[in-house]
Amino acid sequence: MAEDTLHQQFPSYVVKKGEDYMSAPQLAHFRKILETLKHELLGDIERTVHTMQDEATVFADPNDRASQESDIALELRNRDRERKLIKKIDESIARIEDREYGYCDGCGVEIGLKRLEARPTATLCIDCKTLEELREKQVAK
């Protein structure tokens, strides 16, 4: 997936002495990461559409047809996930423009540069995310 290549393309942000959290250079760093990720995802989606159009073959053998349909269903599920990620990326870019990026939606504390570099669309600090996951586990049981 495109997120896997982010760490190779973008070195970790090095905070300068006395630099405030989510300063203009930091916001620019994360905007570039988000826009690059979005561009890569859109490219993947475009390639999938062309590949599916090119490989649209009608197989006489029911097993071959079933295999092809299974492959298409898997690709479509992956593209749907990527479409949802693109929506989160757009929301994160809007948060950058509103100067709300990097702060937890749950408690308002700083999310942290390392966490944002690992997951640029994060909206919760690690503590709030952990609590959310615990609640989800309790409800699922």
Query: What is the tens place of the pLDDT at every residue in 94-141?
Result: 999 999 999 999 999 999 999 999 999 999 999 999 999 999 998 876
On whether residue 61 sits in a domain, the answer given is: yes
Residue 24's pLDDT is 94
Instruction: State the pTM of this model.
Output: 0.80
Question: Where do runs of H (alpha helix) occur along 1-118?
Answer: 6-9, 24-54, 62-97, 113-118
**Quick check: is 133 in a domain?**
no
112 belongs to a structural domain: no
- Asked, for residue 98, whether it belongs to a domain, the answer is yes
- Total domain count, the chain: 1
Question: What CATH number is associated with residue 60?
Answer: 1.20.120.910
- Domain housing 30: 2-7+21-103
- The verdict on residue 136 lying in a domain is no
Q: Residue 34 pLDDT > 60, yes or no? A: yes
pLDDT number for residue 28:
95
Three-state DSSP at 79 gives helix
Q: Contact at 8 Å (CB) between 74 and 82? A: no
Nearest to 71 by CA among 60, 59, 86, 83: 59
**Please, which pLDDT band fits residue 8 given cuts at 50, 70 and 90?**
low
What letter would DSSP give residue 103? B
What does the pLDDT read at residue 62? Answer: 80
Task: Identify any residues that bridge with 110 across adjacent strands, giving them in sequence order.
Answer: 103
Residue 117 in domain: no
At residue 125, φ and ψ (nearest 5 deg) are -70, 170
Question: Would 120 be classed as within a structural domain?
Answer: no
| Residue 58 domain flag | yes
Kindly report, residue by residue over 47-84, the tens digit of the pLDDT.
877 777 666 666 777 887 788 788 888 888 888 999 99
d(CA 10, CA 72): 32
